[in-house]
Homo-oligomer: A and B are copies of this chain.
């Protein structure tokens, strides 16, 4: 007997359980007015450098915090703490993604309630996180110019699960002969109409436009019209 059907069945139940917890999280965040942004990408695409810039830009004016997932080490939490925003590391052991229960456990007793923005940096992985709702308001999929233009075509589920695509490390675009039109076309082929930001956390290019779009989304989620 092939074991696959049993695995699929058990996994479906776990996913369903994850969806229930994610729905509760989402309702809770909405109640207190917290806009939750999750980040998924390959290892080394630059999630942490990007997030450090975002936290630093938002921190003076908003109540922000971040959860950050990794198999091992607290390196990312230490890096993000330089933004002075509250940061908590979730280590997953051998698990290739975060789950809603991990977010719930991390939030419990943390004292980081009543936030404007909560950021959740997932484990570096372009496959596994696609199936797990974390109760976020917005999911960003991040790819760096050094990874090549074909990644959307090769990893369609993660692009389909995300709301916005961020193309990072554009300061390296010339060095790797990056074809911007090609990556944009590949993203649109997988997810027509997807919003795309091209930016560099190193030079800061494109960061302001992204930060402003986040602020507009927070305002919109609270029913505030930005003029």
Contact = CB atoms under 8 A, between A and B. Distances in A.
Interface of A: 3-4, 6-7, 10-11, 13-14, 17, 42-45, 70-73, 75, 94-96, 123-128, 130-131, 143-144, 146-148, 150-151, 153-157, 169, 172, 175-176
A11 B10 CA distance: 10
Contacts of A75: 150, 153-154
Contacts of A124: 42, 126, 154-155
Given A7-B10, A7-B11, A43 B151 contact: yes
B153 A43 contact: no
Contact of A44 (B125, B144, B172): B144
Contacts of A176: 172
15 contacts: A4-B14, A7-B10, A7-B11, A10-B10, A43-B147, A44-B143, A44-B146, A45-B147, A71-B154, A94-B127, A96-B96, A96-B125, A124-B126, A146-B146, A146-B172
Contact of A10 (B6, B70, B128, B175): B6
Contacts of A11: 7
Contacts of A71: 127, 154-157
Contacts of A154: 43, 70-73, 75, 124
A45 B17 CA distance: 34
Contacts of A148: 44
A11 B146 CA distance: 34
Contact of A96 (B3, B127, B146, B151): B127
A167 to B, nearest CB: 12
A111 to B, nearest CB: 27
Contacts of A70: 154
A7 B169 CA distance: 38
Nearest to A70: B154
**Among A7, A11, A146, residue most surrounded by chain B Cβ atoms (within 10 Å):** A146
A81 to B, nearest CB: 16
Nearest to A149: B44
A157 B72 CA distance: 10
A127 B75 CA distance: 18
